[in-house]
Homo-oligomer: A and B are copies of this chain.
Amino acid sequence: MIIDCHGHYTTAPKELQDFREQQIKGIDDPSLLASLARPNISDQQIRDSLEAAQLRLQRERGSDLTIFSPRASAMAHHIGDEKISLEWTRVCNDLIHRVVQLYPDNFVGVCQLPQSPGAPPAHSAAELERCVKELGFIGCNLNPDPSGGWWTSPPLTDRWWYPLYEKMVELDVPAMVHVSSSCNACFHATGAHYINADTTAFMQFIQGDLFRDFPTLKFIIPHGGGAVPYHWGRYRGLAQDMKRPPLEEHVMKNVFFDTCVYHQPGIDLLLKVIPTENILFGSEMVGAVRGIDPTTGHYYDDTKRYIDNSSLSAEQKHMIFEGNARRAYPRLGKILDARKSA
């Protein structure tokens, strides 16, 4: 089985964006919010939005199941206040739930959280619980910078985040560390902010002792772990200079990197330096990069090809395509088994 751990609903029907635009107008004119109805989207619209995109690409590229969450760049936790964020988050998560209900063999849900700049992460625990217990989701996307490029929250290792981590541990679900769009002109979203956030989170984990406090807490750092595998010597060396334990003990029991690295040499580096058990197959399709690489004739984000073409053994490939995902997302196995026997 080929499990893609990183897919966002980037092709949602336009009614979703229409709702969001009305909601944003309502920030300045609250009277609009009172009458704002949730987007009216039919099952057929959902099918149409997926058939020609994610489902076609699953078939063409040969993946089976996508761990699917709302569009990351549209989370935009920096827009409006907590109440705005919560309503938008619920609308987005409920839409993912409908996708999963329509295509239970193709998708499993991961939720957006109702974060907001300055709002305690504890306030996101209820929506996480709703998504896991009521909607059957298996994880969440956690934004380390709800300010959208101003980095005003404490590091992920700060106790500020602990109440949310307690809920994650209780529910046995991981978080993908994933920022949203950037409202800081310095940072292009998918070209700088995303990658920087991945790198930043990993270094925070080195500095802190988070996994001493939460031995079963799990994070996925997407986009191949940001800059980390390329600078693996730097990170090992910094940890050593800082008298931290070796990374294998200190961080890598709890952290996974996905394979959203869009060329063969990058994937080869990832597979070479990062332990295989820490790597999850991911493509982020349909996502940040949509074109065809003229040097290969294939889509940049067809990351399965790079794994297939690597020198890993069949057993190692199986770990990356399926086995590791079952460990990273403990609820996934139960869901797959239940579906199989249904």
Contacts and interface: CB of A to CB of B under 8 A. Distances in A.
A223 B199 CA distance: 14
Interface in A135-189: 144-145, 149-151, 153-155, 158, 184-188
A155 to B, nearest CB: 5
A133 interface: no
A203 B188 contact: yes
A185 B200 CA distance: 11
B230 A206 contact: no
B200 A186 contact: yes
Contacts of A240: 291
Contacts of A263: 232-234, 236, 273
A69 to B, nearest CB: 20
A185 B233 contact: no
The oligomer's copy count stands at: 2
Q: Considering residues A226, A237, A262, A273, which has the most beta carbons from chain B within 10 angstroms of its beta carbon?
A: A237
Contacts of A229: 230, 266
A266 B186 CA distance: 26
Interface stretch (A109-117, A190-198, A325-333): A190-198
Contacts of A272: 265
A289 interface: yes
A199 B200 CA distance: 12
A272 B272 CA distance: 15
Interface in A228-246: 229-238, 240-241
A178 B238 CA distance: 19
Contacts of A53: none
A288 interface: yes
B235 A191 contact: yes
Q: Considering residues A149, A231, A235, which has the most beta carbons from chain B within 10 angstroms of its beta carbon?
A: A231
A249 to B, nearest CB: 14
A223 B188 CA distance: 20
A261 interface: yes
A149 B236 CA distance: 23
A282 B272 CA distance: 24
Contacts of A184: 151
A323 interface: no
A231 B267 CA distance: 9
A150 to B, nearest CB: 7
14 contacts: A151-B186, A154-B185, A186-B200, A186-B204, A188-B203, A188-B207, A191-B234, A192-B204, A195-B234, A224-B230, A227-B227, A233-B262, A233-B300, A236-B263
